[in-house]
Each structure stands twice: as structure tokens, then as C-alpha cells.
Amino acid sequence: MSTSPLAHLAQQVTDLLTSIAALSTLEELRDAEASLTGKRSPLASLQKSLGALEPEARKAAGAELQEARRVVETALDGQRALLARAARQSSLEADRLDLGDVVVGDVRWPLSVGHPGLISLTQRELEDVFVGMGFTVADGPEVESDWYNFEALNIPPAHPARGLWDSFYVDLGEPETVVLRTHTSPTQIHLMERAVADDSLPIHSVMPGRCFRRDTPDASHLYSFHQIEGLVVDRGITFGDLAGVIETFTRAYFGPDISSRLRPGYFPFTEPSAEFEVTCTICRGSGCRTCSSTGWLELGGCGMLDPAVLKAVGVDGEEWSGFAFGFGIDRCALMRHQVSDLRALIENDVRFLGQFS
């Protein structure tokens, strides 16, 4: 009696199921498919061997084989679904983007963290110094009427001093001419007007801000630049107070080996007026190209409030006196950090800016 070709079918199916369960990736499954259920599989060989059987026996064996194939294929499909789910899960894990993840200082990629630019930094440092000296910080508009930018500051129309401030005109019309402020001095006017209106004199304030002039940009001029204005209005204020404030500020901001000096100057809104200079920050006073061998660098202007300005804002010059000063924040930054060209401040070159983080 010849043995049935399906004598070992149960064992073969068990072996196939064991092999299927051992497949660990979709690639492995794809590679093994032909040998498990395809033309090269034991089931396909068995199928062929059934041809030798009597029709009755062939039918019964065929049904048995078909059932075996169904079991194996179901197992294969099940394994395929399992591996596909695992593959999807691990690809999701790999792509995971945690928006709340803080990666400062992480070395996975070079992460550059932003920081304030040199002008903002300098402005903050200057404000800190003046706040430490008892000043408050105030703000004023960047667009001003002719009255605030010029007239109230004792610069009437056609006054030759207007040539000092080459203005960008916003509106030449009636009734008012409007300019982009050419300096921060008009903020003095706003502060004094307000203090008179709400009877809150004295004033000890600094006013930083952006200014605009129709200059040709070069190493020491920009269309748009920053100034900080200082204003003190109080009883019994003298030129000595002004000189003291300038000197205290200079040492506090630039360091104890840098001092200040005042030279006679002219500004329509102060009388007497002075230009103030500080020890050259490049050569520390010994004389160099930057300071034209004088040992001094000019920083800004100052003076005692002109009676005409006090009158324009309604401050009683019999009771109150005061001084004002103003200088470039950008220029201060250059001097403090020994940068030779103002344009470096606005070029947005990260190699330059990165030095001040």
C-alpha cells in the first residue's frame, strides 16, 4: 500500500506556521512568500503529487490540501498585518515632532539662539546707567510737527540753524509742516508741556529714540540713527549740575579711566551751550588717528535750557531752571566696542552681531 502524499501534511503545516511566526519584518515576509505559499512552497509540490491519485482519493486529498493552504495563508496575512502595524508605529516614532520640546544647548544640531542687536543692547545699558542716577525713561513720537522739532526749540522758520538738521518732510502743507524728527530734543518739549499741564514739575528724564536725517550714509552717518536726550528741570539747577551728570554718566558707562570735558558750543535751545567730549576710547587719551591725536572724542551736545524754550512751553523761568543734553546711541556703541563704521550696525551680518550676544 502506497503512503498518501499528505501523510506529513500536519507536520508541514506546523513547520510553515512556525516559519511565518518567525518573520520579523515586512521585507523578510515578502522574500519568504514564494517559499511559504507560492510555486516553490511544499504545498505547491504536494498539489502536483495529487495527480497520481485515484479520482476519489484525489478529491479528498485536494480538499484537505486546500484547507491546509487556507490555514497557512490566513497565518501569513495575519503576520503581514502585524508587521505593517509595527512598521507604521516605528516610522511615526521616528518622525515624532514635539512642539513643546525645549532643545536649548542640545548637541543634536547647531542651534543658534537670537539676542538683542547692538543698538538695543546699548540703549538698555544707557537707560540702566541713567536710571541708576535717578532719571526716569520717557518716550516721544518719531513724527513731529515743525513746532516740536524746531520752533519750540527756539529754531524759527528760516533760522540758519535749521541747516544743521537736514529733514525728511512728511507734509509741507497747511496749517502744519510735519517732519520725521531730526533729533530727540522735541521730546523735551512734550515732557515739559505735560508737566506744566498736570503740575508735575520737576523733571529728571532721559528719552531714547530713533531719529532721521537726509544725510548721505557713510562711516559716521545714517539716514536713521538713535539718540538719547536728557532733561532736568528743577529749582536751583546750575551748569555745575550738568557737568557733574555728564561726568558721572561717562565714568559709569565707559569705565573709570574715561572722563569727560565740555567745550563751548552752540545750540539754539540751550544757553550757554557746550559740546561734550570723552577720553578717546581707542587710545585711552594718548592720541591716535581716531581722535586726531587730541585724546578726546566728541559725543554730544548740552547746555542750560534757553529762556525762550521755557517760555514756549509755559515753564516759569523765575522759579525753574534746567539743563539738557543729547548724544548718539549708535555712536556710543561704536566708541564702547571700538567699531569704526556705523553701517556695521545695520548690515545684519550675523558674524558681526554674534560678538555681542
Q: Select the span of 1-9, 20-28, 169-177, 298-306 touching ligand DAH (CB under 6 A).
A: 298-306
Dihedral sign, CA of 312, 316, 317, 321?
negative
Of 122 and 188, nearer to ligand DAH (C-beta) is 188
> What are φ and ψ of residue 34, in 5° steps?
-60, -40
Distance CA 105, CA 164 (A): 50
Q: Select the span of 74-82, 198-206, 252-260, 296-304 touching ligand DAH (CB under 6 A).
A: 296-304
Nearest one of 321, 318, 314, 322 to 199, comparing CA atoms:
314
Binding mask 16-35 for ligand DAH (x = CB under 6 A): --------------------
Binding ligand DAH (rule: CB under 6 A), the pick from 42, 129, 326, 334 is: 326
**From the CB of 105, what's the least distance to ligand DAH, in Å?**
44
Give the footprint of ligand DAH on residues 160-199 (CB under 6 A): 183, 185
**From the CB of 113, what's the least distance to ligand DAH, in Å?**
36
Binding mask 76-95 for ligand DAH (x = CB under 6 A): --------------------
**From the CB of 123, what's the least distance to ligand DAH, in Å?**
16
> Which secondary structure element, helix H or strand E, spans residue 122, and what is its range?
helix 118-132
Binding ligand DAH (rule: CB under 6 A), the pick from 325, 329, 333, 335 is: 325
Nearest one of 63, 204, 67 to 131, comparing CA atoms:
204
The DSSP bridge pattern shows strands 203-212 and 136-137 to be parallel
**From the CB of 221, what's the least distance to ligand DAH, in Å?**
12
Nearest one of 156, 234, 144 to 184, comparing CA atoms:
144
Of 42 and 301, nearer to ligand DAH (C-beta) is 301
Nearest one of 130, 117, 121 to 253, comparing CA atoms:
130
Dihedral sign, CA of 284, 285, 289, 290?
positive
Binding ligand DAH (rule: CB under 6 A), the pick from 324, 334, 335, 339 is: 324
Distance CA 18, CA 231 (A): 91
Of 222 and 324, nearer to ligand DAH (C-beta) is 324
Site size toward ligand DAH (CB under 6 A) is 12
Q: Select the span of 99-107, 143-151, 167-175, 320-328 touching ligand DAH (CB under 6 A).
A: 320-328
Distance CA 52, CA 189 (A): 115
Helix orientation angle between 239-254 and 329-337, rounded to the nearest 10 degrees: 50
Binding ligand DAH (rule: CB under 6 A), the pick from 144, 229, 277, 330 is: 229
Q: Select the span of 65-73, 192-200, 295-303, 313-321 touching ligand DAH (CB under 6 A).
A: 295-303
Binding ligand DAH (rule: CB under 6 A), the pick from 42, 209, 303, 322 is: 303
Q: Is 5 in the site for ligand DAH (CB under 6 A)?
A: no
**Cβ 149 vs Cβ 174: under 8 Å:** no
Q: Select the span of 6-14, 78-86, 121-129, 323-331 touching ligand DAH (CB under 6 A).
A: 323-331
Give 153-219 as a 3 state SS string.
HCCCCCCHHHHHCCCCEEECCCCCCEEECCCCHHHHHHHHHHHHHCCCCCEEEEEEEEEECCCCCEC
Q: Is 277 in the site for ligand DAH (CB under 6 A)?
A: no
Residue for grid cell 550738568: 242
Q: Select the span of 36-44, 110-118, 128-136, 318-326 touching ligand DAH (CB under 6 A).
A: 318-326
What's the order of all strands across the beta sheet hosting 321-328? Answer: 136-137, 203-212, 224-234, 321-328, 296-305, 270-279, 260-267
Q: Is 322 in the site for ligand DAH (CB under 6 A)?
A: no
337: Cα separation from own chain's centroid: 20
Q: Select the span of 124-132, 256-264, 290-298, 301-309 touching ligand DAH (CB under 6 A).
A: 301-309
Q: What are the residues binding ligand DAH (CB under 6 A)? A: 183, 185, 229, 267, 270, 300-303, 324-326
